[in-house]
Amino acid sequence: MKKAQAAPAAFAELGIEPPLLRALAKIGFVEPSEIQKQLIPVVLSGRDALGQARTGTGKTAAFGLSCMQMVNRDMGLQLLVLVPTRELAVQVAAELLRLSEFLGLRIVPVYGGQRIKSQLHSLGKKPCVVVGTPGRLIDLLERGALSLGDVRFVVLDEVDRMLDIGFRDDIRLILGKITSPHQTVFVSATLSDEIKRLAGQFTRDAVEVNVSRDEITVEEVTQVFIGVEPWDKFRLLQMVLEREQPKLAIVFCNTKRGVMKLAKRLHVEGIDAREIHGDLVQSKRERVMERFRKHNLHVLVATDLASRGIDVHGITHIVNYDIPVDPEAYVHRIGRTARMGSFGKAITFVTREQGKLLTEVEKLINLQITEERLENFVPGSPPRGELGGFSPPPGRRPRGPARASPVSAAEPPSVPGGTAPAQSASPSQRPKTLGAKFRSRRRRL
């Protein structure tokens, strides 16, 4: 006879009840994360809340456990969760299903890219919890297929990303239709002034729970950048993947076209990589993600938008093939690794025109990112006639975005990727924090 697993006492002390404790024990939860310790009691007390914590720290369980504990399974839709992407809708719904296994709640994800007929059928079974993207929720409301009259809890997950995508008006429209007394919870990896203003409109005396004021990124992520010219990036990526041998890696590009081209080139070179972006049909997206979760696929090439639903344990490497224009996107990207106390590495490719973007990232995370060089990487010549290619003026070497520093006559010149190996930093050395008065010496060339 299988021995029953002990309920996690630390969650019980927060006020979580036996059915949810059984699920937590089955999943293997023992100790709550900091956001769970602080947010769960606030929500259980009936207060509105504004929660900030790094990606991968357990925000879904923090709002899910507390809200679902107060849901009555026989009263129809009571918990509405808004998320920015279809991947995140699927991921959050699956996590809530795991947590509520012994409550017997009906949970339905609704999102674009899937036939609405099947979602209408699921909604006809009167779910207690709906997790959805704003666009699909508005569609269902306009069809009269979804009623918000009995909603008691509203959660906006990854609210910073929803605003980035442009869901401001949709969010206001949906929240404005909820007229019954309810609690509202905003959760996000970052809390901008705009998010606080939005929360001020739709919450009452909200409690702010911020467990990441001074550490937007985590020490468990080793963050480095490599200077490289645009025409050398693909060759550099091949060398990085060969050297690092990642268990699971996500390679980020800024555009869908960039993702498609890069995934195709990797596949041609014999690297089993697959793409994920907004134009990929849902069935294919789900197949790709299923392979990635089962570690049958080791390299995923993604856009920022598509990545927001990726909650996969064991991601060891993040490669920013394109440095993001928005510094906050960098935070979300590298948050895919080093989850729940594990370790990871983030490698960012930076061309010589992108020094300013790197500086903006450093100022946001209050950390000076270390430059890394590949000993055997020799920069190539710019391709002639290729769009975006150019030749440097005669006698001038291409230069990377590295910070200005005195170079003695005996030292080799610094070039993108590095022709001369740099000495490895001692493991005991900690990255330098920038401080409030940091002024970068990196300049645009």
Measuring CA to CA, how many Å separate 334 from each of 85, 113, 190, 213, 317? 18, 27, 14, 17, 8
pLDDT value at residue 407: 36
120 pLDDT higher than 80: yes
CATH of domain 221-371: 3.40.50.300
Q: Which one of 3.40.1030.10, 3.40.50.300, 3.40.50.150, 3.30.470.20 gives the CATH number of domain 9-210? A: 3.40.50.300
pLDDT value at residue 108: 97
- Per-residue pLDDT tens for 269-304? 999 999 998 788 878 888 898 899 889 999 999 998
User: Region 403-420: what's the mean pLDDT?
Assistant: 40
Please determine whether the domains at 9-210 and 221-371 fall in the same fold group of CATH. Answer: yes
Measuring CA to CA, how many Å separate 101 from each of 26, 30, 31, 98? 10, 17, 19, 5
End-to-end CA distance of the chain: 70
Q: Tokens standing for 226?
A: 């490599």
Dihedral sign, Cα of residue 294, residue 295, residue 297, residue 298: positive
pLDDT value at residue 332: 82
10 pLDDT higher than 60: yes
- Per-residue pLDDT tens for 306-319? 666 676 778 999 99
Q: Is 370 helix (H, G, I), strand (E, B) or coil?
A: strand
Asked if residues 115 and 142 have their Cβ atoms less than 8 Å apart, the reply is: no
pTM for the full model? 0.64
436 pLDDT higher than 50: no
pLDDT value at residue 372: 95
Asked if residues 407 and 422 have their Cβ atoms less than 8 Å apart, the reply is: no
pLDDT value at residue 433: 54
Confidence of residue 250 (pLDDT cuts 50, 70, 90): very high
Dihedral sign, Cα of residue 405, residue 411, residue 413, residue 416: negative
User: Region 378-400: what's the mean pLDDT?
Assistant: 56
- Per-residue pLDDT tens for 416-433? 444 434 444 444 455 555
213 pLDDT higher than 60: no
Which among 27-36, 279-288, 330-339 has the top mean pLDDT? Answer: 27-36
pLDDT value at residue 369: 94
User: Region 185-192: what's the mean pLDDT?
Assistant: 86
Q: Which residue has the higher pLDDT, 171 or 389?
A: 171
pLDDT value at residue 6: 62
Q: What percent of the chain has pLDDT over 70?
A: 81
pLDDT value at residue 391: 41
Domain ranges of the chain: 9-210, 221-371
263 pLDDT higher than 70: yes
370 pLDDT higher than 50: yes
